[in-house]
A and B are shown apart, each in its own frame.
Chain A
Amino acid sequence: MYIQAGARTDLGRVRKNNEDCYSVDDGLQLYVLSDGMGGEAHGEVASQLAVQTVLTHCRQGANSRSTPLFGEASPDVSERTNRLASAIRLANRKVFETASADADHKGMGATVAGVWVDGQKMCVAHVGDSRVYLLRAGTLEQITADHSLVAEKVRVGILTPQEADASEMQSVLTRAVGTSPGVEVDTDEQMLFVGDTVLLCSDGLTRMATDPEIASTLLTSSSSQEAADRLVDIANDGGGVDNISVIVLRVLEKSEGLLDRLKIWKKYSG
């Protein structure tokens, strides 16, 4: 199997600057998305620094497995997932230090959602309310739990999902990268199958589009890029009140290219 990635970020219709940032590394099969905050262009400093730090640390880890982890490894997840979580903790430290060093940048922070595909396994780590969804057999499942006040209230049964959707407290995060010296990173792992679609997105999409709209868009698009473009359009049609970023990953059957066939031929022709 292989991953076909499509991605797009958009200003939306209300904001004056785009504080979202994403990165697609097809070679490493590493996909990172971040939604910055802090106002007056500092949100974008935070999100870019976060994405860059995650990327650099994961690349180093992939090149040399002895690259030390930042923070404690969890026995619950694989080495790859631990590396991704370590990268987000490091990003937290870097954003926090930058924010503390410069009065202009005080208070900036970012969400980070990262997906790293390792063979058939998908490693997931996140902080904040940017989400990762998995669409499998027609069913869309959010596999990250938002670190927002309303989502935490829903989880403990104080708010209904309907009330959460209507709440004016939606922008209140309970965890973010860069706002305190340390951060707890949530991790998850899933096996991927041909036909699956994975979506990473900022809240600019999920506030404007319902899960059924997202699912049907992913199901009816002919490529990952088309799906990403259409999701951004839906969010803008719905009002586009925030920056919108999406990364769509489709898990496709690996077709044997010419090189593979040559290798097989060489192997059997001795």
Chain B
Amino acid sequence: MSRLLLKFEKTNLKEVPLGSQPVTIGRAPDNDIQIDNLAVSNYHARVYVEAGSLVVEDLNSLNGSFLNDMRVERAMLKDGDSITIGKHEILVDQIHDATAPAQEMRKAPAPRVNETMILDTEQRRKLLDAAAAAGERSQLAPERLRVPTLTVIGGRTDQKEYRVSGKMTVIGHSKMATVRLRGWFTPDVAAQINKHDDGYYLGRGDRIPKINGASIAGPTKLNDGDTIEVGRVRLHFTFRD
């Protein structure tokens, strides 16, 4: 949950949680944050969430709204920002939550090291090691040492069992398919399995495959023991030693 903290000369006056509704700031009593000071307009500014980002907007106030001492009409907010209205300060206290997906956030031009630079291997290893020691590293899945296998449990295919090797495994009628489906009207590429660094992902082809009975929405990571359905063919995905 994020919140706004209203402060006056270092004293906390009020705390307003940020929800889906805009938070209004002004001198009139019906504001969410009322500031009874003549320097503040009746409806001075508001703070709201837009496309996953927190935004402050000045409502054409007489004396303006200031974000970190810069006068703004409309600006994106981040944790720790300070909005100054009159002599009052409003602090943005954004507690990290997972409700704002990164994709929806409007990208601010990130401050950047002016020129692109490249780390040499040694620097890179040091930086990543240090960073990994600080955080938890969860990528070393034991599956990676084992062979992913598809076992046919229903439908017509050319073999009963397939090893999934390589970057891409095609399921379909095509000559280049690993798992070759038989029968009339079977599509050349019904589905595909792509190997990524962190595992194997099932993606659609001319059919939308199912995993454990549910149609996939996009490329979906396969777990040990999953059942894949492509048309009438059913496959069991397992990791073998």
Contacts and interface: CB of A to CB of B under 8 A. Distances in A.
Interface in A15-53: 35, 37, 39
A158 B136 CA distance: 7
Given A157-B135, A167-B110, A171-B115, A189 B167 contact: yes
Interface stretch (A64-72, A208-216, A221-229, A249-257): A208-216
Nearest to B113: A171
Contact of A165 (B107, B114, B167, B170): B107
Contacts of B167: 76-77, 81, 187-189
A34 to B, nearest CB: 12
A98 interface: no
A238 B102 CA distance: 17
Contacts, number: 145
A70 B103 CA distance: 38
Interface stretch (B3-11, B124-132, B154-162): B124-132
B197 interface: yes
Interface residues of A, number: 55
B102 A239 contact: no
Contacts of A174: 118-119, 124
* Residues of B contacting A: mostly: loop
Given A141-B219, A156-B128, A193-B205, A171 B112 contact: yes
A156 B141 CA distance: 12
A156 B204 CA distance: 27
B108 A166 contact: yes
Contact of A37 (B96, B108, B117, B170): B117
Interface residues of B, number: 55
Given A166-B78, A191-B168, A210-B107, A172 B176 contact: no
9 contacts: A39-B115, A121-B168, A136-B204, A141-B219, A157-B135, A157-B139, A158-B135, A179-B118, A210-B104
Given A76-B167, A156-B135, A168-B112, 14 more contacts: A37-B116, A37-B118, A120-B189, A137-B218, A139-B217, A149-B119, A157-B135, A165-B102, A166-B110, A167-B110, A168-B113, A172-B118, A193-B206, A239-B109
The 8 A-B pairs of least Cβ separation, nearest first, read A161-B102, A158-B135, A189-B168, A37-B116, A239-B109, A171-B116, A176-B118, A139-B218
Interface of A: 35, 37, 39, 75-77, 81, 109, 120-121, 136-137, 139, 141, 145, 149, 152-153, 155-158, 160-162, 164-176, 179-180, 187-191, 193, 207-212, 238-239, 241
